[in-house]
Structure 1
Amino acid sequence: MAKPRSRRVPVAEPDEGIPADWKPRARNREQLLELVELLPNEPGVYVMRDRKGRIVYVGKARRLRARVRQYFNGHDNRLFVPALSKLLGDIESVVTSNDKEAMLLENNLIKRHQPRFNVKLRDDKQYLVLRLDTRAAWPKLEVVRNIAQDGAQYHGPYHSASSARHTLRVVNRHFKLRTCSDFVLQHRKRACLQYQIDRCPAPCVYDVDAQLYADQVRDVGLFLAGRHSELVSGLEQRMQAAADALEFEKAARARDQLRAIETTLQRQDVVGTGELDQDVVGVYREGGNVEFVVMHVRQGKLMGTQRFSEKGMELPDAEVLSSFLSAYYDEAPLAPDELLLPFALAEDDAEPLAEWLSERRGKKVPVKVPVRGDRKKLVLLAERNAASNFATRRSKRDDGEAALLALRKRLRLSRLPRRMECYDVSHIQGSDPVASMVVFVDGEPDKSSYRQFKIKGSGGELSQGHRQNDDFASMQEVLERRLRRALEHDDWALPDLMVIDGGKGQLNRVIAAMQDLGIALGDEGVDLVSLAKERRFAVTASKQGLERLREQGVAETPEATPGQALADYVVQTADDADDPGEVRPERVFVPGARDAIALPHGSSELYLMTRLRDEAHRFAITHHRKRRGKSSLVSVLDGIPGIGPATKRALIKHFGSVKAIKAASVEQLCEVKGVGGKLAEAIVGALSG
C-alpha cells in the first residue's frame, strides 16, 4: 500500500509544478480510498492532483482524513464528486499546527497554482487606503496600497483610485493639512502654492499653532472614520466659540468644514443605525457563474462597494463563499468590526476565519448570518446588488455559448445543442393528462415555440373521460406525435437535442418510437437524453440487508407483507444508522451508455438542464390546471337537463369559470344565447346545491 505524502511543517508546500518523476498513485476508486485512509486526522491542507499531476483542488480541514473521506462515502452530494474517481491520480496533505495556519497555507497554494475548482481572485491593485500618522510632528494624509504595523491610522479600503483621491481632495480643501513629503517639509525655504491658495498653513516655513493643527488632524480622523455626529458637534462648538470671540476667520473655516461634511453625507447612503465598521457580503449564482458583492458599511453609512465575478465554480455555495472570503481578506488591507454573510459556512471554515480576522483587527470580529433586523436588511441589500451586478455584467450570449459547449462535451452529443426541446407529462391520478413541450434556443427560452398536448390514449378513450396513469405510455404517445409532425411538416423540424423527464425506462420507450418512425439518433437524426431528478435511497432489501435483519433477530412472519419486517427495521433504526442512505444526484441517461452521467454540481450545464426541465414541468402543470378547471365545469354542466354542447360552450365563453357561473343570477344567465328563463332557473338550482 502506498505511503501518504504528508509532512508536519507549518509553512511547507507541495512541490512547485509537476515533479519530473511524478506518477499517479491511484487509477480507480479503490486506490483513492486507500490514499484517503492514510491521511492524518489533524488540521492541515489537502491537495488533489489529476492523473497528469496537475493540482485541481486545494482545501483545508480541521481533520484531514474525515473531510476528504466525505468526498467518497456517499454523504457528499456535490455533483463534481462522482467525477473525482475518474479524475484524480493523487491526494497529498500538509499538516499544520492549527486551523488558521491551514487557511493561510490554502490561500498561498491557491494563488500559486490556480486550481481548476477553487475561487481565484486576481491580484487586485484596487485596494487603496488613506494613511494618517498622528505621531508625526506635522501629520499628513496620503494614499497607500499596503498597511504597515507602524501605529498610523488607516482608513478605507477604497475600491478605486478616483474614490480615494476624491476623499483626499475634500480633506485637503477643508481641513488644510500639509501635502508635501517629509524631505520637502524639512528643506523648503519658501511656502508653496498650497499655502497661497489657503490649502496649507505652511509649517515648513512659518510658525504654526501646533494645537490648532492637532485639532485639524483629529477632525480628519473623525471624518474618515465616519464619526460624523461627533465631528459636527465639535465643529459647531468651535464655530460658536470663534464667533463669540470675534474671530470670524476661524468661525468661517469651521462653517466651511461643516458644509463639506454635509455634502459628503448627502452622497452617502445611510443603510444602518449601528456604530460598527461592517463588511456585508452578497452572493448571486447561476450554475457555475457567481457574483460576489462586499459592501463596506461604516458607522451605518455605505462607504463603498466591491464586486467580483467567478466562472466555472462547481462547489456548493458554502464552500465557494468560504474560498472567496479567504482570498478576499488575504488581500484586503483592513478587517471590519463585524462580518455579515448571507448563509453559514462550515464550522471548521467559520471559526478559523473569525480568528484570523480578529487577529488582524486587534479585537474579536464576529462572523454572523443574521435572520432578522437591520443586519438582515443589509444582507438582503447586498444580495440584491449581487443579482443586479450579475445581470448587468454578464454576457448572456457568452454564458450561453459556454454552457452549450460544456453540455455537448459532457453528454458527448453529436452537435452543439442550439435548439433544445424538453417534454413533461402532468395529471392527477390519471385524470386530464396533458404534456408540454418547451424550447430553448441558445440556452434561453423561446416561448413562442412552446406547445401543449392533450393525451389521447389508445383509441382516443381519454376524450371519453377515462384515466391513464401510465407516464411511459403518455410520453411515448407525445413523442410519436411530435416526431410524425417533423416528418410531415417543415415547420416542425427536429431540434438538436430532445430532453425527456425521466430515467432509463422512459428513454428506451422513446428510442423505440423513433426506430418505428425511422428517425435516426445522433449525427443522422437528433440527439436524445433523459434527465432523472436527484433522489435519496434508504437501505434496500438486498441479500446483505436480509442477512443483517436475521442477525438482529428480526424474522418475517407469514401474515406480514413481504419485506415488511425489513422495512420496519429500517425505520426503527434509521436514527442510529451510520449511513443515512445513498444520495443519487441528478443524472442524465444517453442512448447506448450503460451508466448515467452525473452533471457537476453548480456547473453551467447542470443549471441549463434543470432550467429546461423545470420550465417543462411548470408549463405542463399550468396546462393541466386549466384543463382540469374546464373539465370540472363541463362535468357540472353535463348533469343539467337541457344543456347541450353549444349552450355549454356559450356559458363557458361568456362567464369563463364555474365560480362565475355559480355567482350569476337568473337574469345574467338569460343574457347567454340559448339560455331561457326555465333553463336559467335550472342552472341556478343545480349549481347552488
Structure 2
Amino acid sequence: MVFDRTNLDRFPRDPGVYIMKDQAGEVIYVGKANNLRNRVKQYFGQTSDTRFFVSLLDDYLNDIDLIITANAKEALILENELIKRHQPRFNVNLKDDKNFLHLRIDSSSKWPKIDVVRSPRRDGALYFGPYHSASKIRQTLKLIEQYFGLRNCDDLTFRNRARPCLQYQIKRCPGPCVLPVDHRTYDNHVQDVIRFLQGREDELVRSLKGKMEHASQALDYENAARYRDQLRAILGSLEDQNMVQIRQLDQDVFGLYREGASLQVSILFVRRGKMVGSRTFDFMEHGIPDSELLSTFVNLYYNSGAAMPDEILIPVTVSNFEVVEAYVSELKGRRVRLKVPQRGANKRLLETANKNAEHAYFQARRDLSARDGGLVRLKEKLHLKNVPHHIECFDISLFQGTEPVASCVAFEGGSPKRSRYRHYKIKTVEGTDDYGMMREVLTRRLKSGLIKADLPQLIVVDGGKGQLNVARAVLQDLKIDGLDVVSLAKARIIDGINDADGGVLKTSERVFIPGVREPISLRSNTHEYFLMTQIRDEAHRFAINFHRKRRIDRNFRSVLDDIPGIGPGRRKTLLRHFGSLKAIKSASSDSISELKGFSSTLAQTIVHHLKTQDGQ
C-alpha cells in the first residue's frame, strides 16, 4: 500500500511533529514543522530537497502520523524524544554518548566527595567536564586526592568504617569517617577543589598563597609546606592549558565539513577561555541540509546530558534559531547564547573547528578505506565466497573442567561491534569436551540467526582442524549454505630451532580452511593478519573475563543466597541498609520487616535461617 497524497490537503496548518512509517509500520523519519501541511507537502511533487531518502518515499512511505503541539518549542522537544525512542533510519541519530565523563560534587553532603559519572543529572549537585579520556580524568583525580585531601570512599563504606583506611595513613584523606575532623577546614578544601575544576585559577592561587603565608606566620610549617605543594601542582597543571579567549567563558564551538551526502561534525570545548578538548561525529549518506542537520544535532546532543556552556558557536544559522536557543537555555536553567560569528576571536575558533571536522573526515575515510582493503585481501587470501563485512569469532573458556563458557564477538566493516557481543553458558556438555562445547554454542547461535535472518558472512573458530570440522558439521546439520567458516590457530614453537638471537622460533598464525590440508600462513604486519588476530584475541579476552566473573561469583556466594525468597535485589537492600552480614545476623525480624519488600514472614525466615546456619 502506497501513501495516499490526497490526504495532504486535510493536514492541519498547526505546529507539530510528523512521523513517517514504512509498509511494516516501522518509523523511518521524524520531523518537526511550524506548519504541518506546508512542510509535509514539500516532500512531494517538485522539490529542492536533495536528501537521499526523499527520492525513496514512493517506495518506502506507507503512512504519516501527526502530533499537533501548542508551539514550535514543544514540537522541537517532542521531535527529540521521538528520534531517541524510535531511532529512525533516515534521521540524524545521536545516541547518548557514553564516552563523556564528568566529575560530580554534591556540596549539600556533610562530607562531600568526588564521583565519576557518565551523564549529568538535574539533582542540585555540581558537575565538571566533559573529560574525553579516562587518562585525563585519572590525572585530575590523582592531583585532587594528592593535594586537596577529600575522601574517595563510597557512602556505604563511609558510614560503616570502624578505623581509618590507607588513604588516611598516606595523608590523602583526613579520615572524617571515624576521626573528629574540623568541618570548616574540610569545606575549605572542597571549595578549593571546586575553584580548580571550574578553572578559577587566579582565585585559587590567591587563596593558597594566603593560606601558605598565614600558616608560615603562625609557625605552622607543616601546613605551609602542604599549601606550597598544592600551589606548585596547580601552577604546573595550568602550564598545559593554552588560552584561546581573553573572555573567561565556557563555549562549545561546532565545525562542519561536507562532501556530498557525507558530513563530519566537530565540537571544540573551550572552558574559562581555554581549549580543553574536542569531539567529532560522522554522518554517512545524510543529504540533510546543513542548517537542518545542525539544528537536530544540537538539540539531541544537549538533550543527551552533555555539559551546557555559556555560548554555542555554530557555522550556519539553524532552522528555528530562536526556538533552539530558548530550548538549550531552558536545559541549562539560564541564558545560553547561540551565535554565528562573522569576525574576531570567535570566527577564528569556528575556523579551527571546521579544520578539525575536515581532518576527522579524511582520517575516517582513510581508516575505512584501509579496513575495506584488508577485508578484500582477506577474502582473496582465504578463498572466501564473500567479502566478510560481518565476522563472528567463537572461543571456549574453562578452568579444570569447571564453569565452562563461550564467547562470540562480532566485527563489522573491520571494527568491533560490541552491541553484538554475546556470552554463552555451556548447558549440555560435561567435562572438558571442547569440541562438544563448540558444537553446542555454534548450534545455538546459528539456529537463532536462521530464525531472525541474522547470520554473519564469516565464522572464525579458535583452534585447529578439529574445531573447523565441528563448525562445518553444524552448518551441514542446519543446512546452511554460502556461509564461510575458518579456524585460526595460534603460532606454535618450532622444536630444536632457534632464531638469529638464540630465542625460540615460532610459526606464523595459521588459518585452516575447508578442503585444504595445509593451513594458510598469515604474514605479519598486514591488514589481514592484524584483523584476524585482533578478532581472535578479542574473543579470547571476552571469554576469559566472563569465566573469571563466573568463578568469582561462585567463590563469593553469600549465605543470603541460600535463603528462600532472597534474590539479588533483596540481598542488595539488606546489605545496603545494615552494612554487613554480621549486622544482618544481629538484626531482629521487626527491623528487617520495616524494609520495603520484606514481609514479617520473610523477615522471620531470614532470622531463623541465619541462626540455624550459625548453629544457634
| TM band (smaller chain) | 0.5 to 0.7
Which runs of 5 or more residues in structure 1 are unaligned? 1-22, 27-31, 403-689
One-letter amino acid of the structure 1 residue matched with residue 315 of structure 2: P
Partner of 1:11: none
Query: Aligned pair in 2 of structure 1 residues 397, 183: CA closer, same or farther (>3 Å)?
Result: closer
Partner of 1:261: 234
Deviation at 1:74, TM superposition (A): 4.2
* Equivalent-residue separation in structure 2 for 1:247 and 1:316 (angstroms): 65
* Equivalent-residue separation in structure 2 for 1:114 and 1:144 (angstroms): 25
Q: TM-score, normalised by structure 1?
A: 0.51
Q: TM-score, normalised by structure 2?
A: 0.57
Which of the numbers 57, 65, 88 marks the counterpart of 2:37?
A: 65
* Equivalent-residue separation in structure 2 for 1:67 and 1:212 (angstroms): 61
SS of the residue 1:136 aligns to: coil
SS of the residue 2:120 aligns to: coil
Q: Tell me whether 1:127 sits opposite 2:100 in the alignment.
A: yes
Deviation at 1:340, TM superposition (A): 0.8
Which of the numbers 122, 133, 149 marks the counterpart of 1:176?
A: 149
> Does the CA-based 8 Å contact 2:120-2:127 persist in structure 1?
yes
SS of the residue 2:62 aligns to: strand
CA deviation map 1:598-653 (0-9, x unaligned): xxxxxxxxxxxxxxxxxxxxxxxxxxxxxxxxxxxxxxxxxxxxxxxxxxxxxxxx
Partner of 2:295: 322
* Equivalent-residue separation in structure 1 for 2:271 and 2:368 (angstroms): 38
Partner of 2:13: 41
Which of the numbers 343, 347, 358 marks the counterpart of 2:329?
A: 358
Deviation at 1:73, TM superposition (A): 6.3
Q: Tell me whether 1:395 sits opposite 2:395 in the alignment.
A: no
CA deviation map 1:23-56 (0-9, x unaligned): 4332xxxxx2x33322222221112234554433
Partner of 1:242: 215
* Equivalent-residue separation in structure 1 for 2:69 and 2:137 (angstroms): 39
SS of the residue 2:282 aligns to: strand
Query: Aligned pair in 2 of structure 1 residues 64, 160: CA closer, same or farther (>3 Å)?
Result: farther
Deviation at 1:398, TM superposition (A): 4.0
Q: Which has the larger displacement, 65-74 or 376-385?
A: 65-74
One-letter amino acid of the structure 2 residue matched with residue 24 of structure 1: V
* Equivalent-residue separation in structure 2 for 1:35 and 1:336 (angstroms): 44
One-letter amino acid of the structure 2 residue matched with residue 212 of structure 1: T
> Which is greater in Rg?
1
Which of the numbers 109, 120, 128 marks the counterpart of 1:136?
A: 109
* Equivalent-residue separation in structure 1 for 2:156 and 2:97 (angstroms): 31
SS of the residue 2:231 aligns to: helix
Deviation at 1:225, TM superposition (A): 0.9
* Equivalent-residue separation in structure 2 for 1:235 and 1:108 (angstroms): 46
* Equivalent-residue separation in structure 2 for 1:303 and 1:179 (angstroms): 25
One-letter amino acid of the structure 2 residue matched with residue 297 of structure 1: V
Q: Tell me whether 1:332 sits opposite 2:310 in the alignment.
A: no
* Equivalent-residue separation in structure 1 for 2:141 and 2:72 (angstroms): 39
> Does the CA-based 8 Å contact 1:36-1:91 persist in structure 2?
no
SS of the residue 1:156 aligns to: strand
Counterparts of 1:525-564 in structure 2 under 5 Å? none
> Does the CA-based 8 Å contact 1:282-1:341 persist in structure 2?
yes
Partner of 1:216: 189
Counterparts of 1:68-147 in structure 2 under 5 Å? 68-72=40-44, 74=46, 76-78=48-50, 80=52, 81=54, 83-85=56-58, 87-147=60-120
* Equivalent-residue separation in structure 1 for 2:217 and 2:369 (angstroms): 67
> Does the CA-based 8 Å contact 2:119-2:305 persist in structure 1?
no
Counterparts of 1:635-650 in structure 2 under 5 Å? none
Which runs of 5 or more residues in structure 2 are unaligned? 374-616
CA deviation map 1:244-295 (0-9, x unaligned): 2222222222222222222222222322122221111111122222211222
Query: Aligned pair in 2 of structure 1 residues 217, 79: CA closer, same or farther (>3 Å)?
Result: closer
> Does the CA-based 8 Å contact 1:354-1:367 persist in structure 2?
yes
Deviation at 1:220, TM superposition (A): 0.6
Partner of 2:200: 227
* Equivalent-residue separation in structure 1 for 2:139 and 2:339 (angstroms): 32
Counterparts of 1:227-626 in structure 2 under 5 Å? 227-346=200-319, 348=320, 350-395=321-366, 398=369
The alignment yields a C-alpha RMSD, in angstroms, of 2.4
Aligned residues: 372
Deviation at 1:223, TM superposition (A): 0.8
Partner of 1:25: 3
One-letter amino acid of the structure 1 residue matched with residue 63 of structure 2: D
One-letter amino acid of the structure 2 residue matched with residue 55 of structure 1: V
> Does the CA-based 8 Å contact 1:127-1:157 persist in structure 2?
yes
Deviation at 1:87, TM superposition (A): 4.7
Query: Aligned pair in 2 of structure 1 residues 160, 229: CA closer, same or farther (>3 Å)?
Result: same
> Does the CA-based 8 Å contact 1:270-1:301 persist in structure 2?
yes
Query: Aligned pair in 2 of structure 1 residues 102, 86: CA closer, same or farther (>3 Å)?
Result: same
* Equivalent-residue separation in structure 1 for 2:91 and 2:283 (angstroms): 10
Alignment identity in percent?
Answer: 45
Query: Aligned pair in 2 of structure 1 residues 162, 387: CA closer, same or farther (>3 Å)?
Result: same
One-letter amino acid of the structure 1 residue matched with residue 71 of structure 2: N
> Does the CA-based 8 Å contact 2:3-2:61 persist in structure 1?
no
* Equivalent-residue separation in structure 2 for 1:179 and 1:401 (angstroms): 46
Deviation at 1:401, TM superposition (A): 8.2
Query: Aligned pair in 2 of structure 1 residues 147, 400: CA closer, same or farther (>3 Å)?
Result: closer
* Equivalent-residue separation in structure 2 for 1:182 and 1:292 (angstroms): 40
* Equivalent-residue separation in structure 1 for 2:110 and 2:95 (angstroms): 39
* Equivalent-residue separation in structure 1 for 2:287 and 2:45 (angstroms): 19
* Equivalent-residue separation in structure 2 for 1:158 and 1:37 (angstroms): 50
* Equivalent-residue separation in structure 2 for 1:386 and 1:178 (angstroms): 40
Deviation at 1:104, TM superposition (A): 2.5
CA deviation map 1:411-446 (0-9, x unaligned): xxxxxxxxxxxxxxxxxxxxxxxxxxxxxxxxxxxx
> Does the CA-based 8 Å contact 1:282-1:386 persist in structure 2?
yes
Higher relative contact order (CA closer than 8 Å, sequence separation 6+): 1
* Equivalent-residue separation in structure 2 for 1:399 and 1:358 (angstroms): 43
CA deviation map 1:379-410 (0-9, x unaligned): 111111111112222237649989xxxxxxxx
One-letter amino acid of the structure 2 residue matched with residue 69 of structure 1: K
> Does the CA-based 8 Å contact 1:117-1:314 persist in structure 2?
no
> Does the CA-based 8 Å contact 2:103-2:128 persist in structure 1?
yes
* Equivalent-residue separation in structure 1 for 2:96 and 2:298 (angstroms): 14
CA deviation map 1:43-93 (0-9, x unaligned): 211122345544332111122222223334646343544554555333321
Q: Tell me whether 1:149 sits opposite 2:122 in the alignment.
A: yes
* Equivalent-residue separation in structure 2 for 1:264 and 1:172 (angstroms): 14
> Does the CA-based 8 Å contact 1:343-1:369 persist in structure 2?
yes
One-letter amino acid of the structure 1 residue matched with residue 151 of structure 2: R
Which of the numbers 167, 187, 193 marks the counterpart of 2:160?
A: 187
Query: Aligned pair in 2 of structure 1 residues 76, 175: CA closer, same or farther (>3 Å)?
Result: same
CA deviation map 1:119-154 (0-9, x unaligned): 112342112211111121111111122433332111
* Equivalent-residue separation in structure 1 for 2:230 and 2:111 (angstroms): 20
One-letter amino acid of the structure 2 residue matched with residue 108 of structure 1: E
